[in-house]
Every structure is written in structure tokens, then in C-alpha cells.
């Protein structure tokens, strides 16, 4: 008996006192401990196909959408993005729509294993995941396995409900844009922003696509579509990679809808 208590204490000790901060547009709403979160929403143990090391394991975590509702009320769903903060200050965002579409869990342990993972794609081993790690139900929704690991932040300590404009003032699509334009913005952001900017927002020194003249104004749409789907078909020595999402033909149309919408919203880039 004493042994069991000791083991339990050892497992839970590192987590005691860890809090998770919930903010709305930068302002703290609540900062509950793990215990307090467990009281709000019962944790679950469920099999997850882990994308970082391509193995199936049993994660213990709190259903995240339910937790958001318990903390913010149902209106968290009206937000555009969830901005996470990790221990080292890294701040990835996940569109709110993902949480409405797929079940995710704020995990804090792995059954029968240490709370660590190997990141095969970056050749890193034994990465500490604590205090919290956002995981997705890749067993019930295998299509999530194709999305990549961008939506799986580890060592998370806070979440903030933000609007596109808060994060990307010059890049956000115009207010009340169509769903296609918003989709295009999200696809652009995850596939193009590493090398391009729009109104100066994006990777520094990247190829600007909107200011002062949009690419949609000096290139014909059909050529742009061909270019984005396969740059080397047009220019043999291009270093730009072809768009490689799960549905590039549809996604390129969304991206062009976004770029056309931005052509009507030109903002002079800020000085860097």
C-alpha cells in the first residue's frame, strides 16, 4: 500500500502546482491547476497515433473543447484562432475551426511510459512534453495524420483566444470575407508565408506578393494557378516548391481568392 502511495506521489508530484493559463486577447481569464481542470472536465485515457514518432500510445488528457467551454463559456467558438504559449516562448496558432471539427486533448501523461516523445523528422529524442501537450484523435480521424505536426504543440503553458488581426495585422483577410477567402488565408499562411509576405507581413526579406502591386494584377489567373501548382513547369530553375497539400487543385483556388481579396486591401509595409 505504502509503495502504491509512493509511486502515485512520484507520478503526480511533478505536476502539482503546474497551472495552465487561459487568456482572451491577452488578458488572463483563469489559471487553474491540473486538479482544478480535472474537476471541470473528466480526463480520458485514449489511444492516439502519435505523429512525431509514428507510434500508437495511450494518452491521458482532458477533452480540450469541453475544457474551453467550461472556462470561457460557449462563445469561445466565435474566436478565429487559438494562440498557444510554450515554455520556451514559442507561440504557435491553431485555427478555432479545427477544434470544432476534431476532438483534441490537453494531455499530461502517457499510460505506462514517461511523458516524452521522439521527433523523428527533426532527429530529436526524448523530448519532454510536460506540463501539457495538445494531441488529436488520429484513431477516429485518420485524415488528421496528413496534416503534419503544426497543431501538436508540446510544453504548453497557456492558450489565448485571438482574432487573425491581432496576430497578423497586415495579412489578415478583409472583415466579413467569404469562407473561401478565409480558407485561402489559412492555406497561404501554412504553405507560403515562410518565403513570402503580403503587405510586408511574413518572413523578412521574402518575395512580396501584394504591395504596391498584387501578383493577381500583373499575372493572369490561369498562369498563377499553373505556377503555384508546379513552378518548375514554368521556370526550370525555380527554387519555389510546388504546393503539396492533400488537395492542391482546390487549395490553389482558395489561395488565389485570398490574394485577389488582398489586392483590394493594400497596406504599406511597416519599416523593419
Q: How many CB atoms lie within 10 A of CB 144?
A: 22
Nearer to ligand HEC, 51 or 262 (CB): 262
Residue entry with cell 523593419: 272
Task: Output 111 or 221, the one with its CB closest to ligand HEC.
Answer: 221
Q: Of 169, 260, 168, which is closest to residue 214 (Cα–Cα)?
A: 260
Tell me the CB-side half-sphere exposure of residue 223, using CA atoms within 13 A: 8
Q: Is 127 one of the binding residues for ligand HEC (CB under 6 A)?
A: no
Q: Is 209 in the site for ligand HEC (CB under 6 A)?
A: yes
Segment 59 to 98, residues that bind ligand HEC, using CB under 6 A? none
Q: Which is nearer to ligand HEC, 45 or 238 (CB)?
A: 238
With a CB cutoff of 8 Å and minimum separation 6, the contacts of 203 are: 193, 194, 195, 196, 197
| Among 72-80, 139-147, 157-165, 232-240, the segment contacting ligand HEC (CB under 6 A) | 232-240
Cβ closer to ligand HEC: 123 or 244?
244
Shortest Cβ 224–ligand HEC spacing (Å): 6
Q: Is residue 121 part of the contact set for ligand HEC (CB under 6 A)?
A: no
In the structure grid, which three cell numbers stand for residue 87, read together? Answer: 515554455
129 in Cβ contact with 119 (< 8 Å):
no
Cell of 45: 485515457
Which of 123, 126, 239, 244: binder of ligand HEC (CB under 6 A)?
A: 239
Per the document, the length of the chain is 272
Stretch that binds ligand HEC, among 83-91, 112-120, 167-175, 188-196 (CB under 6 A): 188-196
Task: Note whether 215 binds ligand HEC by CB under 6 A.
Answer: yes
End-to-end CA distance of the chain: 63
- Interface residues with ligand HEC (CB under 6 A)? 191-192, 194-196, 207, 209, 215, 224, 227-228, 231, 235, 238-241, 243, 255
Amino acid at each position: 500500500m505504502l509503495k502504491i502511495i509512493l509511486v502515485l506521489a512520484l507520478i503526480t508530484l511533478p505536476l502539482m502546482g503546474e497551472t495552465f493559463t487561459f487568456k482572451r486577447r491577452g488578458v488572463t481569464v483563469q489559471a487553474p491547476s491540473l486538479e482544478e481542470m480535472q474537476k471541470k472536465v473528466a480526463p480520458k485515457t485514449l489511444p492516439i497515433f502519435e505523429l512525431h514518432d509514428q507510434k500508437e500510445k495511450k494518452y491521458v488528457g482532458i477533452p480540450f473543447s469541453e475544457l474551453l467551454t467550461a472556462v470561457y463559456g460557449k462563445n469561445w467558438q466565435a474566436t478565429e484562432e487559438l494562440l498557444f504559449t510554450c515554455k520556451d516562448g514559442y507561440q504557435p496558432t491553431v485555427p478555432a475551426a479545427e477544434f470544432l471539427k476534431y476532438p483534441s486533448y490537453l494531455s499530461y501523461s502517457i499510460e505506462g511510459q514517461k511523458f516524452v516523445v521522439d521527433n523523428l523528422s527533426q532527429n530529436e529524442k526524448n523530448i519532454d512534453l510536460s506540463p501539457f501537450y495538445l494531441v488529436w484523435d488520429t484513431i477516429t480521424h485518420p485524415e488528421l495524420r496528413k496534416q503534419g505536426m503544426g497543431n501538436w504543440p508540446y510544453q504548453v503553458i497557456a492558450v489565448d483566444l485571438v482574432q487573425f488581426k491581432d496576430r497578423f495585422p497586415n495579412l489578415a483577410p478583409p472583415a466579413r470575407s467569404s469562407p473561401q477567402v478565409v480558407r485561402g488565408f489559412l492555406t497561404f499562411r501554412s504553405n507560403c508565408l515562410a518565403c513570402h509576405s503580403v503587405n510586408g507581413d511574413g518572413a523578412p526579406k521574402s518575395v512580396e506578393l501584394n504591395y504596391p502591386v498584387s501578383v493577381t494584377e500583373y499575372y493572369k489567373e490561369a498562369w498563377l494557378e499553373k505556377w503555384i501548382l508546379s513552378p518548375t513547369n514554368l521556370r526550370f530553375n525555380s527554387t519555389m516548391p510546388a504546393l503539396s497539400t492533400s488537395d492542391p487543385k482546390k487549395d490553389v483556388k482558395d489561395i488565389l481568392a485570398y490574394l485577389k481579396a488582398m489586392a483590394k486591401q493594400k497596406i504599406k509595409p511597416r519599416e523593419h
